[in-house]
Structure 1
Amino acid sequence: MKIFLDANVLISVLNKEYPLFPISSRVLSLSDRSGMQLYSSPICLAIAFYFSEKKSGTDMAKLKIEMLSKKISMTAVDQATCNQTLSNRQVQDFENGLEYYSALGSDCEVIVTEDSDGFYYSKIPVLGCEDFLKEYIF
């Protein structure tokens, strides 16, 4: 299964943000499970780095991002992704649109985010960490 992780999930893991951290870290641990492939976009990684750097400093944030990038694959954000986002009149949040179309471009089957309302136009399931675990893992 190909799973796209939104920036808010990555941030909660990198910054150990409670109460989400125990659940989001469990989602991230799925990278070690056979048949599970975790994806995110370079944009999500940049956003996660920004918030990690604010909390932990530049060197620690780089180390955290390096460790994280070994667990997940990157989706592409290119001209086609931008064009798809811009041409979909339902997309109000440009960044979410880029994430959505990059996830589709990598054949992701689900988006895991704590902002599921931001992906109201999605043709694939969009779930919070807890709901994702309940529906697909437990």
Structure 2
Amino acid sequence: MRVFLDANVLVSVLNKEYPLFPHSARILSLADQRRFQLYTTPICLAIAFYFAEKKCGTAQAKQKMQILSSKIHIASVDSQTVLGAISNPSVLDFEDGLEYYSAMQHDCNAIITEDSEGFYFSEIPVYDCRKFLEEVVF
């Protein structure tokens, strides 16, 4: 199963943000199972880096990003992604639109985010970390 991870899931893992951290860390650990392939975009990584750098400094944030990047697939954001987000009148948040169309281009079966309302237009299932663990993993 191909699963797209939104930036807020990555931020939670990198910064050990409670109470979400135990759930988001379990989501990230799915990368070690053959059954799951985790995806995110460079945009989500940039957002996650920004918040990690604020919390622990540049050097440690880069180390965390290196480990994170080795565990997940980095989905492209190209002109097709941009045009999809721009041309869909249902997409009000451009960043969410870019993430959604990138997930679609990479045949993701689900999106995991702590802002499911931002993906109200999604044609693929959208879960928060807890719901995904309860409904899909177990």
Question: TM class by shorter-chain length?
Answer: over 0.9
User: What is aligned with 1:64?
Assistant: 64
How much does 1:120 deviate? 0.2
Counterpart residue identity of residue 33, structure 2: R
How much does 1:56 deviate? 0.5
Q: Distance in 2 between matches of 1:44 and 1:3?
A: 14
Counterpart residue identity of residue 89, structure 1: P
User: What is aligned with 2:99?
Assistant: 99
How much does 1:35 deviate? 1.7
Q: Distance in 1 between matches of 2:40 and 2:75?
A: 6
Secondary structure of the corresponding residue to residue 71 of structure 2: coil
How much does 1:34 deviate? 1.5
Gaps of 5+ in 1: none
Counterpart residue identity of residue 42, structure 1: P
Gaps of 5+ in 2: none
Percent identity, aligned pairs only, is 62
User: What is aligned with 1:46?
Assistant: 46
Cα deviations by residue, 1:79-132 (Å, 9 ceiling, x for unpaired): 110001000000000000000000000000000000000000000000000000
Matched, 1:32 2:21: no
1:14-25 maps to which residues of 2 (within 5 A)? 14-25=14-25
Q: Distance in 1 between matches of 2:104 and 2:127?
A: 15
Counterpart residue identity of residue 44, structure 2: C
Output the TM-score relative to the length of structure 1. Answer: 0.99
Matched, 1:11 2:24: no
Question: Runs of at least 4 residues of structure 1 off by over 3 A?
Answer: none
Output the TM-score relative to the length of structure 2. Answer: 0.99
Counterpart residue identity of residue 86, structure 1: I
How much does 1:5 deviate? 0.3
User: What is aligned with 1:133?
Assistant: 133
Counterpart residue identity of residue 37, structure 1: Q
Q: Distance in 1 between matches of 2:41 and 2:126?
A: 16
Counterpart residue identity of residue 129, structure 2: C
Matched, 1:108 2:108: yes
How many aligned positions are there? 138
Counterpart residue identity of residue 82, structure 2: C
